[in-house]
């Protein structure tokens, strides 16, 4: 399974393109306030891959570093043309890169079962009955995955 799977992704204007190979080690829906601000929506969805399985194909990104709700650094990479956040690095998952799920050309394979920072979820958000819903984050357990 998986190692030959290659998924392509990019930003809205098309100047930044990248790909991920194999299956993600974590796919999570994040309801923290910063993901709400970053997306302008109710939550962010991230697919985390080991760093060596993510490859930039074209374009250069700008970076914006912030402090997460858990007090750790998160570095967002955004397209300088359209401003889309395309991926991010985190202090706690330093061996991995999070890719913005909506940036994949094909999103039909996505089926996130993990919701984090539900404490700050917008009031009208509901969770699928088969989802794992955490009030904060459990990202530590994925450190060594
Ligand atoms: Zn762009
Ligand atoms: Zn978040």
pLDDT of residue 92: 87
Q: Which ligand gives the minimal distance to the CA of 83?
A: 1
CA of 31, nearest ligand number = 2
Is the confidence at residue 144, as pLDDT, over 50?
no
pLDDT at site 145:
42
Provide the pLDDT confidence category of residue 16 given band limits of 50, 70 and 90: very high
Predicted local confidence at residue 137, as pLDDT: 82
How high is the mean pLDDT of the chain? 92
CATH number for the segment(s) 6-129: 2.170.150.70
* pLDDT, tens digit (0-9, with 9 covering 90-100), for 42-78: 999 999 999 999 999 999 999 999 998 778 999 999 9
pLDDT of residue 70: 79
The predicted model gives 104-111 an average pLDDT of: 96
Q: Where are the domains of the chain?
A: 6-129
Question: Which stretches does DSSP call E strand in 51-143?
Answer: 54-58, 61-67, 73-79, 85-90, 96-100, 114-116, 132-133
E-state strands within the chain: 6-10, 17-21, 26-30, 44-50, 54-58, 61-67, 73-79, 85-90, 96-100, 114-116, 132-133
**Is the per-residue pLDDT at 141 higher than 80?**
no
| CA 85 / ligand 1 centre spacing (Å) | 9
Gap from CA of 79 to ligand 1 centroid (Å)? 5
pLDDT in tens, 94-106: 999 999 999 999 9
pTM attached to this predicted model: 0.91
pLDDT above 70 (res 1)? no
State the average pLDDT over residues 102-124.
Answer: 95
Q: How far is the CA of 73 from the centre of ligand 2 (A)?
A: 12
**Residue 17 reports pLDDT greater than 80:** yes
Please report, in angstroms and rounded to a whole number, the separation of the first and last CA atoms in the chain. Answer: 17
């Amino acid at each position: 399974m998986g190692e030959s799977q290659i998924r392509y992704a990019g930003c809205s204007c098309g100047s930044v393109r990248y790909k991920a190979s194999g299956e993600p080690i974590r796919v999570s829906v994040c309801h923290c306030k910063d993901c709400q601000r970053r997306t302008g929506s109710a939550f962010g969805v991230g697919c985390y891959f080991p760093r060596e399985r993510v490859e930039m194909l074209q374009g250069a990104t700008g970076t914006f570093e912030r402090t997460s709700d858990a007090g750790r650094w998160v570095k967002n990479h955004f397209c300088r043309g359209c401003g889309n956040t395309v991926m991010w690095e985190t202090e706690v998952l330093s061996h991995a890169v999070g890719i913005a799920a909506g940036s994949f050309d094909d999103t039909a394979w996505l089926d996130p079962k993990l919701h984090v920072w539900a404490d700050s979820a917008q009031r009208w958000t509901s969770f699928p009955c088969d989802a794992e819903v955490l009030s904060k984050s459990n990202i530590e357990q994925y450190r060594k995955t």
